[in-house]
Amino acid sequence: MKNRDSIVVRIARAFQKIPLGPFEFIERVYVSNKCDVVGHDIDMIVLLAAPRSGSTLSYQCFIEATNVIGLTNISNLFFRIPFLSLMLQLIVCRKKKGKFLSNEGYVGGFCGASEGLMFWGKWTSSPIDERDTVSDFNNISYFKKVVSYVNYKTKRPLMSGYLGHVLNDSVLYREFANVRFVVLLRNPMDTALSLLNLRISNPDEWLSVFPRECEHVVRSDVYEQVAAQIYWTNRRLLNVIKKYKSPVLHYEKLCSNPNEAIGRVVAELSESGSNVCVKSELPIKFGMRKSDPDTEAYIELKRRFEVLESRYGRLEFPC
């Protein structure tokens, strides 16, 4: 994706490799001492979604309309010092307003909403590719202290919009007491076609999450890969809804009535004990692209989906 390969992003990636030893040491000592006093209560909300399903817009809506602390490019840039980076972004981005703009999931600017691949990958041991999963419980143990102290200091929930978390919901649920999932669903054909359009220009480059069930399609054509990726990611999402009775956010409803859609989910999260609340209004609606079912790409993707559903079961979305 071209925006992820820009000069600014390259500089940021190079900066992320700079050692921050003294700051890391100071932060760990500070957070550990403070956390011994405040305890380990966790108020963390995790948005789970398939790639190209509207997760960036949904995440921005939560950040703008509610009191959640969502990750920005500042925190992802300084991912090695999670507490200090979160406190820094709260100061720098205090009066910044989002414009609900993104380019293939990338939101520019220091205060732009960030999926946080480096941040969440390190501190929750959640890589984007499930074949690379290695649990680092030392990092998780420390980050639990960070989250509990951020919650205590701000009285606000921390929220993640990282797509890789759809692959490790069981680890998050086990390690982060009271973590709450919000599952974003979008018509899988629209999602798959959007992903296909990105991959057509470079069909050999796998984009975003790689569920382990997709290993058998790595040598298949791009249609087979995209269909499998979206099918199995949605199977994970439906399983989360069933296991944890998680609130569901439908992308189509979010676009047609953002305030009602976010308000309903916030009410469910609040009832479950989170400190989340609505603080401002969103636009009346957002534009939404609809797929043309008569195109060759749509017809071919649909055929691949039908094969998967006949073999492994239909994707039954809740209303």
Residue 319 in 3-state DSSP?
A: coil
Sign of CA pseudo-dihedral 172, 277, 259, 106: negative
Task: Give the closest residue to 161 by CA, choosing from 94, 110, 105.
Answer: 105
Query: What pLDDT is stored for residue 247 in this prediction?
Result: 98
CA-based radius of gyration for the chain: 19
Query: What pLDDT is stored for residue 216 in this prediction?
Result: 94
Average pLDDT, the chain: 90
Read off the pLDDT of each residue in 147-163 and give the average, rounded to a whole number.
Answer: 94
* Residues facing 250 on adjacent strands: 185
Residue 183 in 3-state DSSP?
A: strand
Query: What pLDDT is stored for residue 138 in this prediction?
Result: 82
Read off the pLDDT of each residue in 241-264 and give the average, rounded to a whole number.
Answer: 97
**Structural domain spans, the chain:** 2-184+248-286
Given pLDDT bands bounded at 50, 70 and 90, which one contains residue 290?
Answer: confident
Alpha carbon distances (Å) from 126 to 6, 49, 121, 130, 191: 25, 14, 5, 8, 23
Q: How far apart are CA 9 and CA 13, in angstroms?
A: 6
Residue 285 in 3-state DSSP?
A: coil
pLDDT digits (tens, 9 = 90+) for 123-145: 998 889 998 866 677 889 899 99
Read off the pLDDT of each residue in 273-296 and give the average, rounded to a whole number.
Answer: 93
Residues 6+ apart with CB under 8 A from 201: none
pLDDT digits (tens, 9 = 90+) for 58-114: 999 999 999 999 999 999 989 999 999 999 999 999 877 778 877 777 788 889 999
Query: What pLDDT is stored for residue 1 in this prediction?
Result: 47
User: pTM, whole model, 2 decimals?
Assistant: 0.92
Query: What pLDDT is stored for residue 6 in this prediction?
Result: 53
Alpha carbon distances (Å) from 201 to 2, 57, 204, 269: 11, 24, 9, 40
Residues 6+ apart with CB under 8 A from 2: 104
Read off the pLDDT of each residue in 35-54 and give the average, rounded to a whole number.
Answer: 85
